[in-house]
A and B are shown apart, each in its own frame.
Chain A
Amino acid sequence: MTDRPRPDIDAINRPYWESAGDGTLRLQRCPSCEHVPFPPRIRCPACFDELEWYEAPGTGTVYTYGEVFRPSQPDIFDDVPFLLTVIELDDGQRIVANLFDYATADIAIGDPVRVTFQGVDDDVALPQFELVAE
């Protein structure tokens, strides 16, 4: 895969993308009700309180997955098929990512994974995941 489409960085998600660029996974947590939303939100969708950022462990399991043969941008994502997954982090957030170095036949829901980062440009990196050997 070559250059990735860049996300829009805004007031809500800036800490998420900037920390990813620095190689850490920072996510939101509600100090009142402990809800952990994803994607980033402007208020806690559970209790409407202000959210705070914390450094998340970055470990989780495969919640679901698909194998993409027809991407929306075939000129960018020309190395098909590739894996599209939802990772359920240990704290409960569900994050879409690609799994690198996978063998499709071997992947299973529940497989343990850990976060890694894929640079998009100088400022932005995408949280990605890789399988953890058991």
Chain B
Amino acid sequence: MRLREAAVAGYGETEYHKHNQQEPLEYIASAIEKALDDADLTHEDVDGLAISSHELHSENEITLGNHLGISGRWFLGGVGGNSGSVVGLLRGATAIATGQADVVVVAAGDASTPTSNMELIDEFNADLYNYMRPYGFGGANGLFALLQRRHMHEFETTREQLGEIALTQREHAQRNPLAIFNDEQLTMEEYLTARPIVKPLHLFDCVLPCGGGGAIVLTSREHARTLDSDPVYLRGGDEYHNPNPLTPFSMRTAFQNHEIFDEKLTPEDIDAVQLYDNYPIWVAMQLEDLGFCKKGDVGKYLVDTDLSINGDLPLNTGGGQLSMGQANAGGGILHSIEAIRQLRGEGGDRQVPDCETVLTTGFGMVSYGEGLSSASVIFSNEVPQGGDAR
């Protein structure tokens, strides 16, 4: 991948609504409008479009582009569920490097509710429909409860350790006016004793499906430098799909396959992480598989590591999906937007000090025993030197 020839020219994000106020298409269009305004570009400048959404029904990336007056040679429908927008960034950057497009918009959003999300997952693919739905598995909550219980068994991980993720992110959301849980505090006692959903998952382990959207504008490095905003660069990234075709319910995620670190860039160089957080256990397993700690050690790592804004490894600095709300496919782009915001120094009272390099992930396509798709990007506000890590 030739990610380093592209740069972020702008971003846009809607408010997240617990009670949906718009159709998915409206949320996505609002986010695209904000992102183009931020980039000081218009829809006529755009010639590439990647869209991730579960609820557009008969609309898709082509017809949505038609609505918005976006024409060109490069269009991409969400690949890999909620990793789709991060995949869109990787492939959109590659499209710019290879001359397929000059300006690419990557956008995602939905208007989901807890019930609509359950219905979506019940019928998400044949394996869920045939081999989990008849058993009343409870949607993604049931799948990740099974994974968390196994992790707790194999590695003695505790709910209290995983609660560090939920609590830290809730504190971060207090500084994010777009977050649904912006004015609701959470204590460890409340986290541990909240009503059970699928044990060992309780209420504050689960994202709130909601409405909203996000968009990011990519262009060439050279073009980005002529625009108003400070460019943010793609220093690296990877995507990997179908990590464990032979062993469902493995404790091994697709992030183990990501080739994003080398001798020039290690986890110690990362100033903040914005990780796909449908559940704390999934953040924990990403920290293991991306190399921030050893497999099985994450429980202790979560207690020993300060994950707050001014801490050792600031985590999901806007509150993440767990405290902002997850506009379904929009959950995949929220983290990239927060990474870009931090790297432009626009974090306000949640700004990470000296923030130069941020790792972000997307994840999706839940199926029998695991999620099949994953993607990552490492953003930097320093011009990356040399080729990609891989």
Contacts and interface: CB of A to CB of B under 8 A. Distances in A.
Interface centre among A64, A77, A96, A120 (most CB of B within 10 A): A96
B153 A109 contact: yes
Interface string A29-42: 00000010111000
A109 B198 contact: no
Interface in B115-164: 118-119, 121-122, 126-127, 129-139, 141-142, 145-147, 149-150, 153
A128 B249 CA distance: 18
A96 B198 contact: no
A126 B150 CA distance: 24
B248 interface: yes
Contacts of A126: 134-135
Contacts of B146: 64-66, 84-86, 96
A76 interface: yes
Contacts of B131: 7, 38-39, 95-96
A13 interface: yes
Contact of A5 (B134, B141, B196, B369): B134
Interface in A51-104: 63-73, 76-77, 81-82, 84-86, 94-98
A72 B149 contact: no
Given A37-B246, A64-B149, A8 B129 contact: yes
B246 A94 contact: no
B386 interface: no
Contacts of A35: 246
B133 A70 contact: no
Interface string A10-24: 100100000000000
A98 B136 contact: yes
Contacts of B153: 64, 109
Given A73-B122, A94-B369, A68 B249 contact: no
A73 B302 CA distance: 35
Interface centre among A1, A10, A69, A81 (most CB of B within 10 A): A69
A66 B142 contact: yes
A68 B126 CA distance: 22
A109 B148 CA distance: 13
Contact of B199 (A69, A77, A98): A69
The main secondary structure of chain A at its interface with chain B is: loop
B198 A84 contact: yes
Contacts of A8: 126, 129-130
B136 A73 contact: yes
Contact of B149 (A38, A45, A66, A71): A66
B301 interface: no
Contacts of B147: 64
A68 B142 contact: yes
B130 A13 contact: yes
B284 to A, nearest CB: 16
Contacts of B137: 68, 71-72, 84, 96
B119 A72 contact: yes
Contacts of B292: none
A67 B135 contact: no
Contacts of B200: 66
Contacts of A85: 146
B135 A64 contact: no
Given A64-B150, A67-B196, A72 B138 contact: yes
A132 interface: no
B201 interface: yes
Contacts of A37: 246
A70 B197 contact: yes
Contacts of B126: 8, 10
10 contacts: A5-B134, A7-B130, A38-B248, A63-B249, A72-B142, A84-B137, A84-B142, A94-B249, A96-B131, A109-B150
Given A73-B118, A81-B199, A86-B150, 19 more contacts: A6-B134, A7-B129, A8-B126, A8-B129, A10-B126, A37-B246, A39-B130, A39-B131, A66-B145, A69-B197, A69-B199, A70-B197, A72-B118, A82-B136, A85-B146, A86-B146, A86-B249, A94-B369, A96-B132
